[in-house]
Amino acid sequence: MVALEQGTWVVIADGEKALFVENITDAEDPNLVVVSVEEQDASNRPTDRAGRRYDTGPNQKSAVEEPNWKAHAKSLFVQDLANLLNRKGLKGAFSRLVLVASPHVLGLLRRRLHSEVLAKVVAEVDKTLTNHPLHKVEKLLSNQLKPAAAAV
């Protein structure tokens, strides 16, 4: 089967942004159209800068190591993304899905997807393409996901 046939959804994600696109044409010349964009809320995201606290001595401060908020926020965003894919997939919004993300994000997603939604995944591409223009993503995916007969 061809991975990018008409109606296939492609989710292009990193730990902060996810782009949901659908191929509205055939696999030979894909035309990806944006269905929705999900982004992490930047307003309540803490920084990774270590804090300072006062010591018992006069005018002394010590550094306080903070947890790695960026990694935690990325994990939470991927969990939210998986929940959204589970809801849409179980309601029948898509029947075929291609996941495009870094290997780390792909692994997090795979663990959190419902088995029925995971069964709809027809391909995975381990690249971070969230900031690439859609025409470049189309070209890269059509080259990467060629049918087996055409690749020989």
* Per-residue pLDDT reduced to its tens digit, 12-49: 998 889 999 999 998 888 899 999 999 877 555 555 55
pLDDT at 151 > cutoff 50: no
pLDDT at 57 > cutoff 80: no
Domain chopping of the chain, boundaries: 9-40+68-151
Q: DSSP code of 113?
A: S
Q: Which amino acid is at 38?
A: E
Specify the pLDDT at position 150: 47
Which overall architecture, per CATH, does domain 9-40+68-151 show? 2-Layer Sandwich (3.30)
Q: Which whole-number Å values give the CA distances from 85 to 44, 109, 141, in the listed order?
A: 24, 10, 20
Of 101, 105, 35, the closest CA to residue 76 belongs to 105
Specify the pLDDT at position 18: 94
